[in-house]
Structure 1
Amino acid sequence: MDNRSKIIEAAAELLEASPTGQVATRSVAEKAGVQQPVIYRLFGDKDRLLAAVVDHGFEQYLGAKRAAEESADPVADLRRGWDQHTQFALEHPNLYHLMTAPGPTVAPRAIGEMRTLLRGVLERVAQAGRLAVEPGRAVEIVMSANTGVALALLARPDEQRDIGLSRQVREIVLAGVLTPGPAHRTPAESVTVPRAATTLAALLRSDPPESFTAAERALLAEWLTRLAQDTTTSQDTVTS
């Protein structure tokens, strides 16, 4: 194992065992069996070391996400993803606090990949006609709520961490970003312009029309995005 890997492993172990969620570079150097200047030569500063630790810690989590097989129900996949996120936070509280804290100043790559993976699930939800808001906006809503409830649970003593709270918040949030399924849709909940635009935009992203030029596809995508975000038309239904 090279020095970089040894340092990251040492920092990750110290972080997990720390009662305060803090690690010192001196302790990391000692555990890794290297001189402290080696850490700064390889990582630049402590923030970049911690960003590497977060990326390392989430690699297994993200690996499971990447390997997960898509089911026929993207909404069910969305719920499973929420629950996995909360469970990871409860199992790795120090790492999770580090990832969601205002610092370090260097954003870990894992955050970007988490958004990308969630966006992929939400694109499938949109293609199925079940997403009520634009996928990019839905990513922000779901991640913010999922992170918030996870942090709220971590702020409680272990014996008061009720996983049922996460599921309850999940359903409240999903009710705000999803459209009702066909079996539960009432006549008053017919397709609105924003919802139709969201679905069409997702379908076009997955299978862009070859008869359109790149410029035409970009213009159509812009129009559909604006329609999907236009709350003034949310009460208008699509009629033939």
Structure 2
Amino acid sequence: MPTRPAPPTDTRSRIVDAAARLLGEEGRDAVTTRGVAERAGVQAPAIYRLFGDKDGLLDAVAEHVLATYVAAKAAVVGSAAADGVDPLEDLRAGWRTQIDFGLANPEVFRLLSDPDRGPRSPAAEAGWSVLTARVHRLAEAGRLRVAEGRAVALVHAAGTGAVLTLLATPPGQRDLGVADALLEAVLGQVLTDAPVARHAEDAAGGGVVAAAVALRALAPRLEALSGAERALLRDWLDRVVDAAPPAD
């Protein structure tokens, strides 16, 4: 039979651990000063001294749970990039993990979805950075047709909405396919049908050349640039194409 991890030794960690267990087992209403103090084996004044009030304690609990989760996600993203995992599959895997986290930690997810709480969370900010890294890999692969920041915002908004919708539905009536459908709808808005460019090291395969040729063809329509700037851009792209090794 697996053994339970040893309880934290310092007072603050004991309180956060006790509150996190109460939150997960019995919900937000169970996280009272008296209940947490009893479970943590401390006096109630210690909670006020360390966290100020119940809201401060709840913020600390949400941060603790999310920080553990985000650290694991960051390691996965780094591994995926190093191992050459397809960036689209990596994004889909991250999406599924996020949905699972929200459904497994409903109270924490609701706390962090509160616009008055979430922006204050370093762990939530770190989670945003992980999503940004995943989207950036798609951009590097030539798969985005919108700005990276817009793609990140769309994926994040869809993920938050999907979890909150599922949490508002009785467990036995939840259609988990709704989350997948939302992701595919967003991907349809932000992705190209096929990669336009690949990493620089794939130049011999023609990916970079194909991107240069495509942009060269669109250069006359780039009205944000002056005529001289468009001419210079065409010249640069011609040089990229001319410098590429001949196709087999």
**TM-score, L = length of structure 1:** 0.72
Bigger drift between 116-125 and 105-114 goes to 105-114
Name which of 133, 148, 152 aligns with 2:146: 133
Q: Structure 2 residue aligned with 1:14, among 18, 22, 44?
A: 22
Instruction: Name the CA shift for 1:106/1:47 in 2 (closer, same or farther; >3 Å).
Output: farther
Q: Equivalents in 2 of 1:76, 1:21: separation in Å?
A: 39
Residue equivalent to 2:159: 146
In structure 2, give the amino acid aligned to 1:58.
Answer: L
The 3 A distance-change label for structure 1 pair 105 and 135 is: closer
Q: Do the aligned partners of residues 111 and 19 (structure 1) sit closer, same or farther apart at CA in structure 2, a change above 3 Å counting?
A: closer
Q: Show the counterpart of 2:202.
A: none
Give the conservation status (yes or no) of the 8 Å contact 2:144–2:192. yes
Deviations 1:134-173 (A, max 9, x none): 2122221111110101110111111111211111111001
Q: CA deviation at 1:34?
A: 1.3
Q: Is the 8 A contact 1:48 1:106 kept in 2?
A: no
For the 8 Å contact 2:118–2:124, the answer to whether it is kept is no
Q: Deviations over 1:172-217 (max 9, x none)?
A: 011111111149xxxxxx9579x99xxxxxxxxxxxxxxxxxxxxx
Is the CA contact (8 Å cut-off) linking 1:47 and 1:105 kept in structure 2? no
Structure 2 distance, partners of 1:80, 1:181, is 20
Hey, what does 2:63 align to over in structure 1? 55
In the TM superposition, residue 31 of structure 1 has moved relative to its aligned partner by 1.3
- Greater RCO between the two (CA within 8 Å, min separation 6)? 1
Q: Which residue of 1 aligns with 2:180?
A: 167
Equivalent AA in structure 1 for residue 156 of structure 2: M
Distance change >3 Å, CA 138–CA 105, structure 1 → 2 = closer
- Find the aligned partners of 1:191 and 1:148 in 2 and give their Cα distance: 36
Once the two structures are TM-superposed, the CA of residue 20 in structure 1 deviates from its matched residue by 5.4
Cα distance, 1:94–1:141 mapped onto 2, change above 3 Å: same
Between the two proteins, the alignment pairs up a number of residues equal to: 193
Q: Between the two proteins, what is the percent identity of the paired residues?
A: 44
For the residue of structure 1 that corresponds to 2:42, the secondary structure is coil
2:135, 2:152 within 8 Å by CA — same for their partners in 1? yes
CA distance, structure 1, for counterparts of residue 17 and residue 25 of structure 2:
12
Question: Is contact 2:143–2:195 with CA below 8 Å preserved after alignment?
Answer: no
Encode CA deviations 1:30-81: one digit per residue, 9 max, x unaligned.
Answer: 2111122211211233322212111211233212212212143111111111
Distance 1:141 1:176 in 2: 9
List runs of 5+ in structure 2 lacking aligned partners: 1-8, 197-212, 225-233, 239-248
Which sits farther off after the overlay, 99-108 or 54-63? 99-108
SS at 1:179 equivalent: coil
Is 1:132–1:177's contact at 8 Å kept on the other side of the alignment?
yes
Selected match of 2:108 from 90, 95, 107:
95
Which residue of structure 1 aligns with residue 126 of structure 2?
A: 113
8 Å CA contact retained: 1:21, 1:94: no
Give the aligned partner of residue 157 of structure 1.
170
Residue 108 of structure 1 deviates from its aligned partner by: 2.0
Give the AA of the match of 1:110. Answer: A
